[in-house]
Amino acid sequence: MKTKRKQTSNKLLNLILWIIVLILPYLCYRSFTLPLQFPDEYSEKLLLICAAAYLAVFLAVLFAVQRFPEKGLVIFGYVMIACAAAAQLYIADQMQLLPEIDLFFTIDQNKAMVEEGLHAFTNRAYFGVYTNNIPLTIVIYWVFRMAKALGFHNYELAGGIFNVGMNLLTYMAGYGIIRRVTSERPAFLLLVVLLTNPALYAYASYYYTDTISLGLTTFAIYLFVCAVQATGKSGKRQIVLFVLSGAVLFWAAKVRVTTLFVLIAAMVYAVIMGEWKKLVKLGIPVMAGLLAGMALYLPLYHYQVPFDTKDTDITWQHFVAMGADMETTGRYNQGDYEETCEQPTHEEKVVYNVAKWKKRVRENGIAGSWTLICNKEATVWSYGSKQYYQYVQFVKDKQPIYDWIEGEHAIYFRTYMQAYNSLFLSAILASMLAALLKRKQKRILTCVAAIDWLGAVMFYVLWEAHPRQSVSYLFLMTMLLIPLFEIAVGRGAGDSDIEEE
C-alpha cells in the first residue's frame, strides 16, 4: 500500500516538473529574443558576449569549487555576501530616490507623519484606493521613525539602507537554507547564482513590496527549515521557531500577498506525499505564528489608518479585468483604474469588473486569450531588466553610478540583466530535466519551489502582468537549480535535506 502511494506521489511530482519543462522553452526563447524587440535598450551582439562571458566565468568557478576545501568555501561565501551588501549600500547612497509613482505616496505620507509627529495616515485619496500598499507604508513608517530617533533625517537614504538590509537578509537566510538542504559545494554554486543576480542591485535603492517580501519570505523559510531539523533537540525551541516562521510569513504576505504561494505549495506537497499527520503537526504552530503576526498587525493598522476603505478599495477583480486587456497586453491601464474608481460602492466595483473581464475574454476568443497569456508570462518572467528603470530614474542627484545603471551607459547593465535572465531560465530548464531523470527521491525544497513557481505562473494567467513581479520569486526559483548543481559537483539527492534529524 505504501509502495503504491509512493508511486502515485512520484507520478504527481513528475507531472508538475514536466509541466514546468514544457513552459520553460518558450520563456527561454522570449528571453533570448527580447534584444531584437528593443534595439535601443539592448544589443544582440553584446547580449551574446555577456552570456558567453558569464558562462565561462561560472564554469571556471565550478572547476575551482570542486577542488577548494569546503570550510574555505563557506568563509568565502560570507565574504561575497558582505561584498554584495557593500555594493548595494553604495548604490542606495548614490541613487537616493524621488519617485513619481506608487513609492512616492509611501515616502511622502511617512515623511509628513514622522516630521509632524503624527501616527495616522492623512492621504485617504491614495491609500483608500490602493489598500494593498498600506502594510508596506506601515513598515516604512517605523523605519523612518527609527531613523529620526537616531537623528537621521535623510529618509530616502534610510529607506534605501533598509531595503539593502532586506536583500542582505535574503542572502544570509538563503545561504543558511541552502547549506541545510544540500552539500557545501552545490550550496556555494547556488549562492554565486543568487549574488550575481543583477535584479537586486538594480532595485537596491527601491524599497517596495518585491524586495521587502523577498527578504521576509526567505527568512520565514529559514526559520521553518531550522524548526524541522530541530526535532529531538528541544521541543520548545522547535515550537518557537515554527511560530516565528509563521509570524514572519504573515508580515511578508501582508507586504505582498503572493508570498502565501510558498505556504500553499508546502501544503500541496504534503498532500501529494500523503503526509497528513506531519501537515497537522507542523501546521498548528505555523498557524499560531500567522495568528500572532495578525495580532500585531491589526492594532497597528487601526492605530495608523483612521478611515474606512470598504467602498474605496480597488478590489482584486479590477486587476483580473486589467489582466484580460488585449490592447495593453494585460498590463496597467489608467483608463481601467479611473473607471473602477467611478463605481461608488465595493459591490458595484466587483460587478463592473467581473462584467468587464467576461466581455474581454469573449472578445479575445480562444486564440486571442492564448496569445495574451503567452505574452503576459513572457512579460513577467522573460524580461531580464524587470523594468527597473521605470522606478529608479528619478533621484536627488545623478551621481556617476547613475549613468551606468540608468543613464547613458545603462545599455551594458541592462544587457547583462537580460543575458543573466536567459541563462538563469535555461539552467532551470536543464535542472528540471535532471530532476526528472534522477531515480533518487527528489528534494523537498526543490519540489516545494517547483509547485510555488508553477502556482505563480498560473496566477499571472489571470492577473495584471509586470516584469517587476518576478523579483519576489527569485530565491525559490534559484532553489530549482539544486538538482543541476548536485550533478555538476557529484553530489546526489539524498545526501541531506530538510527531513527531520
**Relative orientation angle of helices 70-94 and 184-195, to the nearest 10 degrees:** 10
Task: Provide the percentage of residues in the chain whose pLDDT is more than 90.
Answer: 81
How distant, in Å, are the alpha carbons of 153, 177, 482, 493 from that of 445? 42, 9, 9, 12
pLDDT at 190 over 90: yes
The dihedral through the CA atoms of 312, 313, 314, 315 has a sign that is: negative
Helix (H), strand (E) at residue 27: helix 2-37
pTM of the model: 0.94
Do the Cβ atoms of 185 and 403 come closer than 8 Å?
A: no
Q: What is the DSSP string of 256-304?
A: -GGGHHHHHHHHHHHHHTT-HHHHHHHHHHHHHHHHHHHHHHHHHHHHH
Give the pLDDT band (50/70/90) at residue 492.
very low
pLDDT tens-digit map of 240-281: 999 999 999 999 999 999 999 999 999 999 999 888 888 888
Q: Is the pLDDT of residue 446 over 60?
A: yes
The pLDDT mean for the chain works out to 92
Mean pLDDT of 227-252: 88
Quote the distance between the C-alpha of residue 129 and its chain's center: 24
Condensed to tens digits (0 to 9), the pLDDT of residues 333-371 reads 889 999 999 999 999 999 999 999 999 999 999 999 999
Say if residues 128 and 113 touch (Cβ distance below 8 Å): no
